[in-house]
Amino acid sequence: MAMQIESAMLLAAGLGTRLKPLTLTTPKPLLPLDGGLLIDHQLRYLAASGIKKVAINLHHLGQMIRDHVGDGSRYKLEIVYSMEPEILGTGGGVKGAARFFGRTPFVSMNADALLAADLSAIATRHLESGADATTTTRRSASLMTALSASSAAATTSSQGCPSWGRRFSTCCPLPDREAA
């Protein structure tokens, strides 16, 4: 039986330093990709996957992201924002936005990393695993690997399909070794 996670954290506060000079005046999530903007692809993907509420952390040119995304109604999502006067990094950004989710599980992913996986299957697998957190990695275009970890900070399983976290999870798509 499929289990559903209905909330997500979208990490969008980064400085985009590797894409300078493009990111000097445009935050990386607002850069164009395939006829849309990176953040639009992410938000449509989350909505199509059954996510209903998204928290977005903001720092570098954050008001531009907020102006573009708005309240999320055009994506059929409820959007809340977590402003970071000083950039908190990935862990700090997730921790800062956790208040929006209370004790309910949520997905955490980067606003600029595209994922093409079945979030319902990911949520089901993770919730059934009982792990505290799960991350997905991509070793090749055809194989996603899920790493689940308990609070003991040890990897408890590694299987050839993607997974998301009970409390939170980070999507970490990695380039093919040949493309890196």
Instruction: Give a yes or no: residue 121 inside a domain.
Output: yes
pLDDT number for residue 171: 42
Give the residue carrying structure tokens 């999507």.
171
* C-alpha–C-alpha distance, residues 112 and 27, integer Å: 10
DSSP structure string for 115-169: --S-HHHHHHHHHHHT-SEEEEEEEETTEEEEEEE-TT-SEEEEESS----SSEE
Count of C-beta atoms within a 10 Å radius of residue 52: 15
Cis peptide before 29 (omega within 30 of 0): no
Query: How is residue 165 written in tokens?
Result: 């976290």
Give residue-wise pLDDT tens across range 25-42: 999 999 988 888 999 999
Domain range for 161 is: 7-172
pLDDT number for residue 2: 55
Whether residue 137 contacts residue 174, with contact meaning beta carbons closer than 8 Å, is answered with: yes
Strands 155-159, 143-149: pairing kind: antiparallel
Instruction: Give a yes or no: residue 2 inside a domain.
Output: no
Instruction: Give a yes or no: residue 178 inside a domain.
Output: no
Whether residue 165 contacts residue 105, with contact meaning beta carbons closer than 8 Å, is answered with: yes
Rg (CA), the chain: 16
Q: Rounded to the nearest 10 degrees, what angle do helices 38-48 and 62-69 cross at? A: 50
Whether residue 175 contacts residue 164, with contact meaning beta carbons closer than 8 Å, is answered with: no
The model carries a pTM of 0.74
- Report the residue count for the chain: 180
Q: What is the DSSP letter of 19?
A: G
We report the CATH number of the domain holding residue 36 as 3.90.550.10
Q: How many domains does the chain have?
A: 1
Instruction: Give a yes or no: residue 177 inside a domain.
Output: no
pLDDT number for residue 144: 42
* Pick from 110, 159, 111, 109: nearest CA to 131: 159
Give residue-wise pLDDT tens across range 103-158: 778 888 888 877 777 777 777 777 787 777 777 766 554 444 444 433 333 333 33
Instruction: Give a yes or no: residue 1 inside a domain.
Output: no
Convert 92-104 to b/e letters by CB count within 10 Å (16 or more is b).
ebbebbbebbeee
Instruction: Give a yes or no: residue 180 inside a domain.
Output: no
Give residue-wise pLDDT tens across range 76-113: 999 999 988 888 776 778 877 778 887 778 888 888 87
Give residue-wise pLDDT tens across range 12-21: 998 888 888 8
* Res. 175: pLDDT tops 80: no
